[in-house]
Amino acid sequence: MYKNIQKRTALKLKELVDYQDGQVVSKTLVQNDHVSMTIFSFDQGEEISTHAAGGDAMVTVLEGTGRFTVGGEVFRLNEGETLVMPKDIPHAVYGETRFKMQLTVSF
């Protein structure tokens, strides 16, 4: 079930989280045994350090530019671009600029 989001309303996902100076901000929309969906905002220079997920993680950049390091390979994604980070492969996320993304993890 979706939470923290209006239903039967046209939404702009990037408007669901605001930027905060020096922080990564997240808003969870779905969390269950099968899927997790979260919207993030990153201030420029902020990051989520290297970790691995228990499922395939798909990110779509909603605004700005993010740098994603997946298994040692670097990807720079801009608004509208999507990347799938495979289950159990170490990855990290860094704000090249202020940016927002949607993360969907399928378990």
pLDDT tens figures, 19-78:
999 999 999 999 999 999 999 999 999 999 999 999 999 999 999 999 999 999 999 999
Q: Which domain holds residue 75?
A: 43-107
Is residue 98 domain-resident? yes
Is residue 22 domain-resident? no
Total of domains in the chain: 1
Is residue 4 domain-resident? no
- Structure confidence at residue 70 (pLDDT): 98
- Structure confidence at residue 14 (pLDDT): 97
In contact, 40 and 98? CB cutoff 8 Å: no
Is residue 99 domain-resident? yes
- Structure confidence at residue 71 (pLDDT): 98
Beta-sheet strand order (sheet of 65-70): 47-51, 91-95, 65-70, 73-78
Is residue 74 domain-resident? yes
- Structure confidence at residue 1 (pLDDT): 87
CATH number of the domain enclosing 59: 2.60.120.10
Is residue 75 domain-resident? yes
Is residue 78 domain-resident? yes
Running DSSP on this structure, what letter comes out for residue 60?
E
